[in-house]
Amino acid sequence: MENVNIKIDGIEISVPKNYTVLQAARMANIHIPTLCYLEGINEIGACRICVVEIKGARSLQAACVYPVNEGMEVYTNSPAVRKARKANLELILSNHDRKCLTCVRNRNCELQKLAEEFGIKEIRYDGSSDPVFALDQSSPSLVRDNNKCVLCRRCVAACANQAVSVIGLKNRGFVTEVGCAFDAPIFETSCIYCGQCIVSCPVGALYEKDDIPKVQKAIDNTEKHVVVQTAPAVRAALGEEFGLPMGTPVTGKMVAALRRLGFDKVFDTDTSADLTIMEEGTEFIERFTKGENLPLITSCSPGWVKFCEHNYPEFINNLSSAKSPMEMFGAVIKSYYAEKQNIAKENIYSVAIMPCTSKKFEAQRPEHSSSGAQDIDASLTTRELARMIKEAGIQFNELPDEEFDSPFGEATGAGVIFGATGGVMEAAIRTVYELLEGKPLENLEIAPIRGMDGVKEAELTIAGKKVKVAVCHGTKNAKALLERVKAGEKYDFIEVMACPGGCVNGGGQPIVSSEDRVGKDIRVERAKALYAEDRSAALRKSHENPVIQTLYDTYFEKPCSHKAHELLHTTYTKRNKF
């Protein structure tokens, strides 16, 4: 790429000619504040917080969208720049519901940080800061509070980036709001509850539905046996809520914290991820052998499943009927576990800690009650778990490492990598290969389907037959891949994760500010923790898990048996698109 020479605050630098002023400044370690900007998602210059002075220009320019050119001179801290930025911020604050102390984003709010950075002591402008918008609490997964909204459009861009696009701007002036067509509540739209709008929002205008009170009530009820399971991606991100570096694995401390919160049993969702591979892998072998309903498409991601139900109902028969690991575990807990422990299933309260807001929707789907009760009683996000730990006064970083409870604390490395894009496919290949070949797979790490490319492909030879697989993450990429399938491209097995990067970047994970994202890919950093745990695992293939072997020997008989189908498999629903 050809470079140009520019000067920022008197510092001469050479930068790629396709850079914006903001990118050039960051390359030179010069700070320019932003609010609406979210790298790679929202770059529209709407908030005007990043304005700079360009020598020769008649007005101030938004650094996030203004291109560099040869010989340009930029001033980021001139009197005119400081005055404009502060005025713009005060105007935004004038129309903001400033109940910061009770806001879910208190101390983790980009607007709050800017107010401190700019030294805002009072608001000189009269806006309409009193609440004028009703909360949209129609969804089981998320809440929308437009009284906190700063109209940055980051949520709108994130929704469009997912090829969902159910929200946009409406009205003018003080009553401008982000909303759905025809003033419909979010529950009536094609929203997939992936939560990418939440992790993109710089303020508290979007947040997950709070299920902490009902979980706490169950824990406090001495007649309830409260069981908790934790998804693999949670351990890779929870530490961020307690100041630990991104990607720090905190499995042992997480288990210790959950015990101190009062859960009766702490289990690992990775165990049921191994169970999922046995069911889904066997299902693939059956379909591949018969040549029926191919490609088989994974069904672990509830946001993806809902996206398919709304937008591609013609592919519903291609979805694996295997439940997600969370739902499989819920069914096992209220059937096998209840029987073995001699506990009435109505006295078991099953909680899941997930990196995903869409799991709240999945938990209440009527299809997931095969045990005779709702398989999962409550699904909490990683952020909700962090709030529970903080509210209980637990010193997380000082906790000793503890192990999961038996029998569902033993898992393989294959179960761990479910949290990263490509992980489900890699885990499935490890097992499918050995079941069909009857010999060990030499290289367990399938490089072509790792990484953050939107769509990844590989062609494998298994038992003398060619198997073509594809992996995609983010529903925008899923849409592109499905359109290729509709156009005639042939695949045998496809993995889809709704969230970009997979569960490690789920809508329920710790929120990372736009500035903290600069120079690092949070998806990659968190995934490293999962791959490291996989490499150090004693067992790395799902079919080698002794707990899973016992489950089949004593309860399910074999993968995809009649009983397994009753408890571990599900159905899907064609939904209207809106």
Q: Which residues are catalytic?
A: 280, 283, 300, 320, 359, 362, 367, 503
Q: How far is CA 425 from the centre of its chain?
A: 18
Question: Pairing mode, if any, of strands 225-230 and 348-354?
Answer: parallel
Query: Residue 398 and residue 403: Cα distance in Å, rounded?
Result: 16
β-strand partners of 473? 497
Contact partners, residue 328, CB within 8 Å, separation at least 6:
272, 275, 276, 279, 322, 567, 568
Q: Euclidean distance between the first and final Cα of the chain, in Å?
A: 43
377 touches 351 (CB < 8 A)? yes
Query: Residue 287 and residue 492: Cα distance in Å, rounded?
Result: 9
Query: Residue 199 and residue 207: Cα distance in Å, rounded?
Result: 9
Query: Residue 178 and residue 165: Cα distance in Å, rounded?
Result: 12
β-strand partners of 457? 470
One-letter amino acid of 205:
A
Query: Residue 26 and residue 31: Cα distance in Å, rounded?
Result: 7
Query: Residue 120 and residue 111: Cα distance in Å, rounded?
Result: 11
* DSSP secondary structure of 453-475: -SEEEEEEEETTEEEEEEEEESH
One-letter amino acid of 549:
Q
One-letter amino acid of 166:
V
Q: What are the helix and strand counts (H, E) for the chain? A: 20, 17
Query: Residue 417 and residue 423: Cα distance in Å, rounded?
Result: 5
499 touches 473 (CB < 8 A)? yes
* DSSP secondary structure of 234-252: HHTTGGGGGTPPTT---HH
